[in-house]
């Protein structure tokens, strides 16, 4: 069995490397030649295009920034659809609009290609460790065929329901993460402005009800002023925009999501779009004219 992997960015590259380490045969492609070269050096075969990858693969994994990119790679010129054979499985692990997943799936079905939407959560560190949370939509029998492959990239792999439900779950995840980061930011700025050591506040509250994975992952980085991207603000904006669009389509108001997205937009305008989403705290710091950092 050969796996095609298209999209070797911050997330895709370590995910593909974990599949290589697990012994899978990989055909890799990305528009950035250096990324492909790195995978080839790790043992992958080089693909010349998305269509070329599809023609050589039984299962194709895509890991791309947003809905338009997935549509172009799958349905566009020299895309997956041109090269894929009937019976091929496409696992799109990008975080895109649920309706886009359904649209792409319908086009693929016309050629006998079946699709799963399988977005991930955990950012670059968990992509490297192979401990991502993976939420999957699509036919359950197809999910069973790729479950072992997904488990080489994730510690949690859950089949949710029909196509599109994986991305609905990811949007829910991204809302909770964004609001957690915003709450963490407000709290740490409040403590710092009041003259209390934010590191000690973190240690005091992390074991109680306010404790969370977000708190544990982001506060130490903030204290070090480390906003190197594990997941960029501009990508979280994209996810929240997809959440708001989906909410509008089905009649679900998302007032808190809208507010946090606008704070992220303000940071984007301020030149911080490529900062880690934990850098959201900089918005609140600017308002309060204080910086949250390690004090000793």
Give residue-wise pLDDT tens across range 223-247.
Answer: 999 999 988 999 999 999 999 999 9
What is the mean pLDDT of the segment spanning 195-215?
97
Q: Identify the pLDDT of residue 296.
A: 76
> Does the pLDDT at position 278 exceed 90?
yes
pLDDT tier at 194, thresholds 50, 70, 90: very high
Q: Identify the pLDDT of residue 230.
A: 83
Q: Identify the pLDDT of residue 60.
A: 98
Q: Is 29 helix (H, G, I), strand (E, B) or coil?
A: strand
Domain edges within the chain: 2-162, 168-288
> What is the residue-averaged pLDDT of the chain?
97
CA distances from 246 to 27, 50, 96, 236 (A): 34, 28, 11, 15
Q: Identify the pLDDT of residue 202.
A: 98
Q: Identify the pLDDT of residue 151.
A: 98
CATH 3.20.20.450 given to domain 2-162: no
Q: Identify the pLDDT of residue 54.
A: 98
Please check whether residue 81 is in contact with residue 106, taking contact to mean a CB–CB distance below 8 angstroms: no
Q: Identify the pLDDT of residue 160.
A: 98
> Does the pLDDT at position 123 exceed 90?
no
Q: How far apart are the first and last CA of the chain?
A: 54
pLDDT tier at 79, thresholds 50, 70, 90: very high
Catalytic site positions? 170
Q: Cα–Cα distance between 139 and 128 in angstroms, integer?
A: 28
> Does the pLDDT at position 103 exceed 90?
yes
Do 168-288 and 2-162 have the same topology in CATH?
A: no
Lowest average pLDDT, out of 14-18, 41-45, 110-114, 124-128, goes to 124-128
> Does the pLDDT at position 218 exceed 80?
yes
What is the mean pLDDT of the segment spanning 52-79?
97
CATH architecture of 168-288: Orthogonal Bundle (1.10)
> Does the pLDDT at position 132 exceed 90?
yes
On the 0-12 / 13-18 / 19+ scale of CB atoms within 10 A, 269 is exposed
pLDDT tier at 126, thresholds 50, 70, 90: very high
The two three-digit tokens of residue 41, written as one number: 């050096």
What is the mean pLDDT of the segment spanning 148-152?
98
> Does the pLDDT at position 266 exceed 90?
yes
Q: Cα–Cα distance between 100 and 154 in angstroms, integer?
A: 24
Helix H or strand E encompassing 76: none
Query: Which residues partner with 26 through β-bridges?
Result: 3
Q: Identify the pLDDT of residue 113.
A: 98
Q: Identify the pLDDT of residue 166.
A: 97
Q: Identify the pLDDT of residue 239.
A: 93
């Amino acid at each position: 069995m050969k796996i095609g992997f298209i999209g070797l960015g911050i997330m895709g590259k370590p995910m593909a490397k974990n599949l290589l380490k697990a012994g899978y045969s990989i055909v890799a492609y990305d528009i950035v030649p250096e990324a492909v070269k790195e995978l080839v050096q790790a043992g992958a075969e080089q693909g010349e295009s998305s269509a070329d990858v599809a023609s050589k693969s039984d299962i194709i994994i895509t890991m791309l920034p947003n809905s338009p990119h997935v549509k172009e790679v799958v349905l566009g010129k020299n895309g997956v659809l041109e090269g894929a054979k009937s019976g091929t499985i496409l696992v799109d692990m990008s975080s895109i609009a649920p309706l886009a997943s359904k649209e792409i799936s319908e086009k693929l079905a016309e050629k006998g290609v079946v699709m799963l939407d399988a977005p991930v959560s955990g950012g670059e560190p968990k992509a490297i460790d192979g401990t991502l949370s993976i939420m999957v939509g699509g036919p359950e029998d197809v999910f069973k065929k790729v479950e072992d492959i997904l488990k080489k990239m994730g510690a949690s792999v859950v089949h949710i329901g029909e196509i599109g439900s994986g991305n609905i779950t990811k949007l829910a995840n991204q809302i909770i993460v964004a609001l957690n980061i915003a709450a963490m930011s407000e709290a740490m700025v409040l403590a710092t402005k009041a003259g209390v050591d934010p590191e000690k506040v973190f240690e005091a509250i992390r074991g109680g009800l306010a404790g969370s994975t977000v708190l544990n992952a982001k506060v130490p980085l903030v204290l070090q002023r480390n906003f190197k991207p594990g997941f960029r603000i501009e990508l979280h904006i994209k996810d929240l925009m997809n959440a708001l669009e989906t909410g509008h389509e089905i009649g679900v108001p998302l007032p808190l999501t809208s507010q946090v997205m606008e704070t992220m937009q303000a940071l984007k305008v301020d030149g911080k779009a490529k900062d880690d989403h934990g850098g959201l705290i900089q918005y609140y710091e600017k308002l309060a004219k204080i910086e949250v950092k390690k004090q000793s």
